[in-house]
Amino acid sequence: MEDYDEARVLNRCRAGDLGAYRQIYERYEQPLLRMAWRMLGRREEAEDAVQETFLKLYRGIGGFRSGARFSTYLFRILINTCTDTLRKRRHMEYAKLDADLLPAAETAAETIAPSLVQAVDRLPGQMKTCFVLNAVEEFTLREVAEMLDLNIGSVKTSVHRARKKLRTWLAPGPAGETS
């Protein structure tokens, strides 16, 4: 894949060339899988989300605007897919949740040993997504804003607040313990 010409590959995709889709899959599968795994926390769901993303790409390649950055478009599809998965999961979990267990669940979540991965997982939705896309996947703030359909100020604020929360959560406590 040394001579990867994205515009040419995308034109071949629009023409129905399955080999071109294969090139896109090989180029983006791992970054998409990493992002989905970070968002969903479950490998099987992450793999399903990536597959669903490529299906949506196949069905909707005509919706991609030439001139826009393709990776931004593809990650936007993935983020929407992961968000739908989380929404469905939350709905199912709330349906099963017994009211007596709620306080115990909240207490357990507060006492989780704060490793960096666990701390990032504790960040609220948009904040976590902005932070992971910018700090981990190394997309620019502008690219993150495009992916999430947010203004750049909101992305900057989310990333800043995420870093601030992570520093607070991971800072050693008075007895050398992490908070």
Please check whether residues 68 and 105 belong to one and the same domain.
Answer: no
Same domain, 25 and 71: yes
Choice between 2 and 59, residue whose per-residue pLDDT is larger: 59
Show the domain range for 122: 101-173
Check which CATH number belongs to the domain holding 137 and give it: 1.10.10.10
Query: Which whole number is the average pLDDT over 48-59?
Result: 95
| Crossing angle of the two packed helices 70-96 and 141-148, in degrees rounded to 10 | 60
* pLDDT on residue 93: 56
Number of structural domains in the chain:
2
pLDDT tens for 134-164 read 988 888 999 899 888 899 999 999 999 999 9
Over the stretch 97-143, which tens digit does the pLDDT of each residue have? Answer: 444 444 444 444 444 334 777 788 889 888 998 998 898 888 899 98
Same domain, 167 and 117: yes
Residue 169 pLDDT > 50, yes or no? yes
Rounded Cα distance, 109 and 94, in Å:
16
Output the pLDDT for position 113: 38
In a domain, residue 162? The reply is yes
